Chains A and B, each alone.
Chain A
Amino acid sequence: DQQVKQNSPSLSVQEGRISILNCDYTNSMFDYFLWYKKYPAEGPTFLISISSIKDKNEDGRFTVFLNKSAKHLSLHIVPSQPGDSAVYFCAASALQGAQKLVFGQGTRLTINP
């Protein structure tokens, strides 16, 4: 039972353009959503988060959008840079679930020069 789904295993974007990574969830109790970035042989690093009371959160080049009715969130990176090449994980947690973080399968983003 995959509660958090990232349906695109990989994404390739040209440097300077916008990267859009998508994530869907099934559990309506989720109320906090996070994006993590992971380089090979390292642990995930936190990127940006959004609470369910908001529909947008922006931090520099990174913006996360939340559509609660569609149970969908997306991460926008603009402009994309070569250093953004990594695996991106979407994660979600629920207040009722003791803040247990549930992760998606990840999307490998490659930024081409």
Chain B
Amino acid sequence: EAEVAQSPRYKITEKSQAVAFWCDPISGHATLYWYRQILGQGPELLVQFQDESVVDDSQLPKDRFSAERLKGVDSTLKIQPAELGDSAMYLCASSWQELNTEAFFGQGTRLTVV
């Protein structure tokens, strides 16, 4: 069964260090999302790609966060420098380009900044 792959599953990093997360969406899915979920809250969209283009990054803290999807397939989300408040679950999701289809989520990366 096709699934969204994310790595690593868990990451502990010291504040001010750089950290990167990787996502491989379901094959053929043109839309890719990065969400951040803080414990007790719902997922919050950080960035949305359509193929290799960013269609929404309004909630991405651009002074420290960056995301790319160079070939329109897999994607990397980077944080530099990491801050204590960045501790959260980072979720990647993908969907077909057609309208009104569900997004499929990966298992997420649990980030702890110490």
B interface residues with partner A (beta carbon < 8 Å): 4, 6, 31, 33, 35, 40-45, 48, 50, 55-56, 91, 93, 95, 99-100, 102-108, 110
Given A32-B100, A49-B102, A99-B100, 7 new contacts (CB under 8 A): A41-B110, A43-B108, A98-B55, A102-B45, A103-B43, A105-B41, A106-B40
Q: CB of A66 within 8 A of chain B?
A: no
Among all A-B residue pairs, the 9 with the closest Cβ atoms:
A43-B105, A103-B42, A46-B102, A32-B100, A103-B43, A98-B55, A105-B42, A44-B105, A43-B108
Is A17's CB within 8 Å of the partner chain B? Answer: no
Interface SS of chain B? strand
* A43 touches which of B42, B56, B102, B106 (Cβ 8 Å): B106
B42 and A101: CB pair below 8 A? no
Give min CB distance, B68 to chain A, whole Å: 18
Rounded to whole angstroms, the CA-CA distance of A6 and B41 in the bound complex is 10
Residue of B nearest to A6 (CB): B42
